Amino acid sequence: MLPTSFRLTYLKSLAAVVVALAFCGAEARAQSRTIIVDAGHGGIDRGGVPGQRISEKEMTLDVSQRLRRILEASGYRVIMTRNSDVFVPLGQRTAIANSYRGATFVSVHFNSARRAGANGIETYYYRGDSAGLAANIHRNVVAIAPTENRGIRRRGYFVLRRTSIPGVLVECGFLTNPYEGRTILNAAYRQRLAEAIARGIRRQPAGYNKPLNPGSRASAEALPQAIAGPDFVRAAPRPRYRRTSRYHRSSRASRSRSRSTRQKSSRSKRTKKKRSSDNIQFIRTNAAFV
Ligand SMILES: [Zn+2]
């Protein structure tokens, strides 16, 4: 029989360990249920292409605020990178995301193109651990969108590359497409978009998996386990018009880094136009990871 004092000490230590474990578990659960919702653009950065009729920054904020309400109602903690029409630099957005360890980053955007016929949903991720989330969000959004499934792509957008937590960027349709733009102007449809993104975050299966649109090039590469099914496409070179937006450029630092690499590697490359070099850099970045 152990002395009473020893037994008391032992029980106290045991209780402390149990309390600590319970706290850690609750903390981990709370963190994994923190979502950073990033409404694309804002303030002086209107988003989209020059002269675009429907403002991307307004649509992204509206869907993000709807997403926030839906997620909070489901018990998630939601942090918004912006909650009004203000300009938030990309570095500040990633700094906000990176200050919540264990959270998940979801960036909401709408697409634009000079070709009015372009339409549909695209979802992007960069980190390998974000592929499953990208697939879930993509399938859920595609299921409710009356437009094309343009696929899931891996690409090093600033907000995906510079976040140290899993992250996805979803392009919820083309504002420059007359039909899709009109659909997006409908508040009930934007609510459905937000609900679809939330279902993807909750990892609920999509009711309907729309096939990839015939124009997309199917990928023959080995895909991450998390992406099973027909909706993955290899990231094609980004058309020049898409690079007019601040969001879709690489960072100034990375641009200057890639410039210096190019200068070292080949003198002749200096003669190339900067934009086309940026495109080449993007393709290389992708090739290294997919
Ligand atoms: Zn955008």
In one-letter notation, the amino acid at residue 55 is: S
188 C-alpha to center of ligand 1: Å? 21
Residue 51: predicted pLDDT: 87
Please tell me the distance from the alpha carbon of residue 12 to that of residue 255, in angstroms, as a whole number: 58
pLDDT tens for the 290 residues of the chain, in order:
555 555 655 556 555 554 444 544 444 444 469 999 999 999 999 999 988 999 999 999 999 999 999 999 999 999 999 999 999 999 999 999 999 999 999 999 999 999 999 999 999 999 999 999 999 999 999 999 999 999 999 999 999 999 999 999 999 999 999 999 999 999 999 999 999 999 999 988 876 667 787 666 555 555 666 666 666 665 555 555 444 445 554 444 444 544 444 444 444 444 344 333 333 223 222 322 22
Q: Which helix (H) or strand (E) holds 98?
A: helix 90-98
223 C-alpha to center of ligand 1: Å? 26
- DSSP code of 237? P
- Residue 129 vs residues 125, 164, 166, 225: alpha-carbon distances, Å: 9, 11, 6, 10
Please tell me the distance from the alpha carbon of residue 53 to that of residue 275, in angstroms, as a whole number: 25
pTM above 0.75, yes or no: no
Please tell me the distance from the alpha carbon of residue 139 to that of residue 137, in angstroms, as a whole number: 6
User: Options 3.40.50.720, 3.40.30.10, 3.60.20.10, 3.40.630.40; which CATH number does 20-235 get?
Assistant: 3.40.630.40
Structural domain boundaries of the chain?
20-235, 243-290
242 C-alpha to center of ligand 1: Å? 9
247 C-alpha to center of ligand 1: Å? 6
16 C-alpha to center of ligand 1: Å? 49
280 C-alpha to center of ligand 1: Å? 21
**C-beta of residue 141 within 8 angstroms of C-beta of residue 170:** yes
Residue 94 class from Cβ within 10 Å (0-12 exposed, 13-18 middle, 19+ buried)? buried
262 C-alpha to center of ligand 1: Å? 28
Name the token pair of 152.
Answer: 């899931």
243 C-alpha to center of ligand 1: Å? 10
129 C-alpha to center of ligand 1: Å? 23
- DSSP code of 112? -
265 C-alpha to center of ligand 1: Å? 33
